Structure formats: C-alpha cells, structure tokens
Amino acid sequence: MGSCIICGKSVDGRICDLHEEDVVFEFRGDRPDQLTVDRYYRGTVDGYAEFGVFVDIGDSVTGLLHRSEIDQRLESLDWESGDVVFVQVQQVRDNGNIDLGWSIRQSENEFRGTLVDDPDQGAPYEKDEGDGSGNADAAADDEEAAEPDVSAPSETTEPSETETADAEPDELTTESETADTQADDTDQTDDEQAADAETDERTADAETDERTADAETDDAEQTTEEPSHVAVGTLADRVGETVRIEGVVESARQTSGPTVFEIRDETDSVECAAFKEAGVRAYPEIDADDVVRLDGEVRERRGELQVETEALVKLEGDDRDAVEDRLDDALRSQAEPDAVEPLAADPVAESLTDDLREVATAVRRAVLEERPVVVRHTATADGYVGGVALERATLPLVRDQHDRDDAVYHYFDRRPLEDGVYDMDDATNDVTRMLDARERHDEKLPLFVFVAVGGTRESLDGFELLDLYDAGRALVDDVAVDPEIDDAVGAVAAPAADQEGDVTATALAANVGAHVNDDVRADLRHLPAVSFWEDTPESYADLAAETGYDADATREAREAVALEAFYQSYEDKRELVTDLLFGDGDGPGGLAGHVSEQFREKLDAEVETAEANIDYQTVDGAEIAVLDTDAFTHRYEFPPTELLLDELHRRHRDDVAAVVGVSDDELHIRSDTPIDVRAVADRAREWVPNAGLTAQSARDGKLEYISGERDAVLDTVVDVVADEVA
C-alpha cells in the first residue's frame, strides 16, 4: 500500500481515484489497451490531418486529438512535430484508435504531480529523477518510507487483552466460525475432501462451459446481424450507431494516423477514417472514384460527422451499376435548375432554352460533385464578358459548397485563349494541369466550359484529348457548331446557321448564368448589351438602362475590357475585370471610363496609320481593301490584328465589299457577306497547291500558309473573295 501524493489517503499506488485527474502521467506501455481512460498524459505532436492532430503518447501509441476538441482553428496552431502537449484519453476503441481530449493545462507545473504509468510495474509510481527509470524498487522504498512503523518486538506476536476486549462482536463471531469450519475440515476424511474437490471442479467446469456457450451464441448473433443501409444525409440522427453506407469514393488520403476516405452517396458526403496502424494505408485496393460499401460507427463532435470504418469493400458488376445509377439520378435531379425566364426578349435565346438549361445543369452538377469548373474563353470583350457571366453565377455556389476561404480560386478558373480555336497546345496544357492537380492535391477532373471558342471542327483534336481522360465539356458560342464538335461536347448552346450575327456568346452565357444561379440575375442584366459592338438589340439595351448602364456606360465597359484583355492575355485578371464590369462609381471619370479613353486613343492612332496604307483592289467589280499588317501596324502593341480589322471593316463597310489583312503567314477576311473560309481555302489550293493553305479558324475568318507563297496566296484569295461577294 502507498499514500496518495495529493491527499495522503492510503491507496494501492501513488494516487487516489478522487485526485487522479489532478496529475499527469508519463506512459511507458506499448499498446493502446494499456492506457487508462480519463487520465491526462504527456504527449508529443506527431502530425496534422484535416480533421485534427495526431499525438504520440509514449514511444509506441498514437492518438487523434480531433479539431472539435481544440479551442482554435487548426491552421492557427503553431505546434511543430515533437512539441510537448498534454491530452486526456477519452476512449480506446477495439480497433486500436485512441480518442483524445484537450487539456487546458499545457504545462507540467500546472498539474499537482507527475506519475509514471508503466503496465509492467502495476500501479503508477513517482518517477525517479536520478536515473530516469522510475523502477519499482525505488517506488517500493518510497511506499515503505511513507508508511508508519507499527511492528512490535519479535516476541509480541499475540494480540493483547485490551485489543481482544475492544474487538467488535462480529469480528469475534467470524473468528469463532472460522475455527469451527477449520475443525470440521479436519474431521473430514481424505476421501471425502477429494470427493468434494472433484464435485466443485465439475461445477466450475460446467459454469465455464455455460458462459463460453453463451458468449459464442452472442458472437454468432453479432456476426450474422448486418448493419442497416442508411443514407449519408441521415447520419446526424444515427450518432453512436453502426451503419452501412454505399457510395463513390471522392478522395482517399493517407495521414500520419488513419487513412481517410470521403464517400458520397445521393444525399451527402462524409469522411470515414480507417486505421491499420499509424501512417500505414488501410484498404490500399480502394481509391478515388471506386464505388464501395462501408460499415462503421457514426461519431459526432461539435457538429462534425465522421464514420469509424469497420469494413470496406469495392462493389463490382450489378451492385456497382445500381449505386452509380442511383447517384446519377439524384445528382441530376439536384443539379437541374428550375425553369428560368430569359433575361430579356431574345428569339435566339428563347429557341435555345433547353440547351441553355443543359449547360447550366452541367455547371451546377460539377459544383455539387466538387469538381473544378474551368471556363475557356477568347481574349476578346465578348469572350471575357461571357466568361465573367458564368463566374458571377457560379462563385456563390462554390462558396456554399466549400468551407475553405480560397475555394473560389481552386474550384473555379477562367483561362483566356488568344484565338477562337481550342488546339492541341491548349488541350495539352489543360490536361497537364488537371493531372498534376489530381496527383498533388487529389482534385477531381474538372468540367471545361468553352465560351466564344471551340465551336468549329478545328478544335476537335483538343476536345478528343480531353475525352481520353473523361474530362467534362460544355460549350456556349455565337456561331453554328459543327456536327463533329456537337458529338465531342456533352452540352452545347449555340445558334443555328441562320441565327448567326443576331446574338453574342455573352448574351447566351448570361442566360446560362441566370439558370445556374437565379440569385445573381440582377448582376447579369447589363452584360449582354456590353458585348455588342454595334446594333445592340433593343431588349438588351433597355435591360442595361434599367440597371444604370446607358449606351455610353456599356460602350465604356466594352472598350475597357477589350483593352485589358489584350494585356497579359493568358491571365484571367479576375478582380480587375470585376471592377470594370461591376465596380461602383463607373461612368465618366470611373475606372471603366478611364480605361476606355486609353482604348480609344490607342485604337484611333492605329486606325489612322492603317487607313493611310490600305491597298484598294477592284476585282470583277468588287472593291477589296488589303492591309499589310506586318508592314503597317505595331504588331506587338494594342490593338491586336483581329480587333483592328474589325474596326476598319465597321468604318469602311459602305465603301468596300471586304477587308483583307495579310501578314507573313496569316490572312484574315472581314465582310458583311457570309464567307466560308474553308471553301475559300479549298478553291485557292487549286491555284497554289504547294502553299500549305488551311482554314485555321472558320469562326474568325483566318487562313494560314507558308511564308514563301505569301504573294501567290494573297492574289488568289483576293480573287476568290471578290467572286464570293460579287
């Protein structure tokens, strides 16, 4: 026996039950089941996980201090690996997992004592500071020193008369009964004693067999009874229960303690912790996108649900198909938007209502599945404003779906393209980035949404590369989409051939945005008017005016975006473009007005130089304006060739049938007469078969060829164009 180090009470060890929580223990065992629940232990930080901190207790066991047990955010902790912390053991699970609680006392001198918990030595003892071993002999010496010496001289072995007289009656009776029993035992023969012993042994064996049988029966019942299959969305009502869930693995990550699987079914997703041993991958055959069945216990701390995994299997065949069909139906139903009125009266948008809704469903579903949404758009005013319309609608949904403050940058991205073609270079860049994100950050493959780009078959190679990795694809364009592209993209919203020119990609994208998130409808109303360089439909002009954007304000916003789109063309410039399109105080003297002035000055200067060097050619009665863009423009300064030719065409459309811009290896055509540049290339190749002439961008009127045949190509193309417009 010893004395409690706090109150002095006689105890088996060095601490009484009442004061056990007042001391901290140093653990010297090597198994979780050797820990004592409710005791406070000295530990060291082992590492971080998304849901808490792993703490080593002693040299061989590791427990989890869940983030809900900590009084501050994980990211604000300044603990390093190896730092000393003090924790309370709350529970030791059958699978070896240790649940830890937070101690407000984080210094050893804040406790009223320190004891060693060494299972090999039995009761806790005080640490021997001399050799650090805290051996049992030292502890025994301490106990002996603490107990008073009550031994009498050796000859005094019988109780005194006083002690006998003071004994309680019950004590005397017990002694008498004991003496009688001993006498009876002495009277029994050896055979009788042996028979009694044999009878007692048989009785004990029978009782043991009975208990074993009961235990086996209970185990059999537990083995055959399977957990109930429940929906993840109902787990909050099943805390403490062992349940079964079925779903798809959204992510699988290894921590320094358990392996954490995030599993989603048709109702919600939940993190499931599976432990083999610290830092060792549990269920290595299970990975992201696998369909699984999991049994485990539901736990909750301060509203955070987690399932402690007991069994996990991958589903195949019909079982897998059934789960996938159930998830697909539920996700589509959840993602599909309600019927939404068009932003304004627009015959083209109204004829594409189902297509617009299909694109919106793809975007909303990607957010629900926690897939990044990547918008690819041209580096033009129409491309930027259309991309921003989708951005404005999608970002609030991303914020609602994710707790991370930076989720709007991880789960939504705009990536401008210089041309209206999504080629192999662009697709290779996207595939490389998405595979890197999947490998390094366990991100899912994104949904790519193309705005004012990709509608023609020149983009087919890029789309096919995305398709090889099963990356989602949707498209919004203002040109008729080629059949090959329609087959290569999941959801398409684009006008028919006879509707081209009556709508912009922004007008369609803004209507998609209203379907994605009707709560931001008011923010989108002026965007379609911003995207029209001329002949803005009255319905969109009126809609913009209702939101405070008159003709001058929409022009300034358009020109400002067009100027900024040229600089750092591969960057989305999210905050800057947002300020230009939604900033307060715009108008004369505002940000958009100021940038618009720069746009006008730079464009007018370039147009003036170009107009002085236009070569007017009359062929078969058609006058063609030809500009050598290599010789008479500042090639690497604003405005870009395409925007300059657009402006020249607008200013001279009454005088010429077409404007042709020619450079060392490219040729651009602008005309009010619809011209199929593929047909132009086919006809011209008959005259210049060795020029490598191809239609590089049918939507932008662009041809490419080898520079050595430039003069021959120009003469031939001018003749073909004159014939087309005549």
Q: Return the domain boundaries, the chain.
A: 2-146, 228-334, 336-597, 613-725
98 CB neighbour count, 10 Å cutoff: 25
| CA-CA-CA-CA torsion sign (107, 111, 113, 114) | negative
Question: 104-139: b or e for each residue (b if 16 or more CB lie within 10 Å)?
Answer: eeeeeeebebbbbbbeebebbbbbbeeeeebeeebb
pLDDT digits (tens, 9 = 90+) for 11-30: 777 888 778 888 999 999 98
User: In residues, how long is the chain?
Assistant: 726
Can you give the pLDDT at residue 182?
Answer: 43
Structure tokens at 250: 């959204």
Can you give the pLDDT at residue 700?
Answer: 86
In single-letter form, the type of residue at position 707 comes to S
- H or E stretch including 400? helix 381-401
pLDDT digits (tens, 9 = 90+) for 204-245: 444 444 444 444 444 444 445 788 899 999 999 999 899 999
Q: What is the dihedral of CA 477, 479, 480, 483, to 10 degrees?
A: -60
Structure tokens at 665: 């290896």
Structure tokens at 315: 């589903």
Half-sphere exposure of 412 (CA within 13 A, CB side): 24
Can you give the pLDDT at residue 1?
Answer: 63
Residue 145 φ/ψ region, left for φ over 0, alpha for ψ in the -120 to 50 degree band, beta for the rest? alpha
CATH 3.40.1280.10 fits 2-146, yes or no: no
CA distances from 221 to 214, 271, 682 (A): 11, 29, 79
Distance CA 415, CA 394 (A): 15
Structure tokens at 710: 């430039």
CATH 2.40.50.140 fits 228-334, yes or no: yes
Question: 638-652: b or e for each residue (b if 16 or more CB lie within 10 Å)?
Answer: bbbbbbbbbbbbeeb
pLDDT digits (tens, 9 = 90+) for 232-289: 999 999 998 999 999 999 888 888 778 889 999 988 889 999 988 777 889 999 998 8
- Same CATH topology for 2-146 and 228-334: the answer is yes
pLDDT digits (tens, 9 = 90+) for 388-437: 999 999 999 999 998 878 899 999 999 999 888 999 999 999 999 999 99
- Region 708-715 average pLDDT: 95
Q: Among all chains, which residue has been given the structure tokens 């030809």?
A: 626
Where does 336-597 sit in CATH, by number?
3.90.1640
Residue 45 pairs with which residues in a beta bridge? 55
Can you give the pLDDT at residue 304?
Answer: 78
Domain range 613-725, CATH architecture: Roll (3.10)
Residue 134 pairs with which residues in a beta bridge? none
In single-letter form, the type of residue at position 297 comes to E
* Most confident segment among 178-192, 195-209, 583-597: 583-597
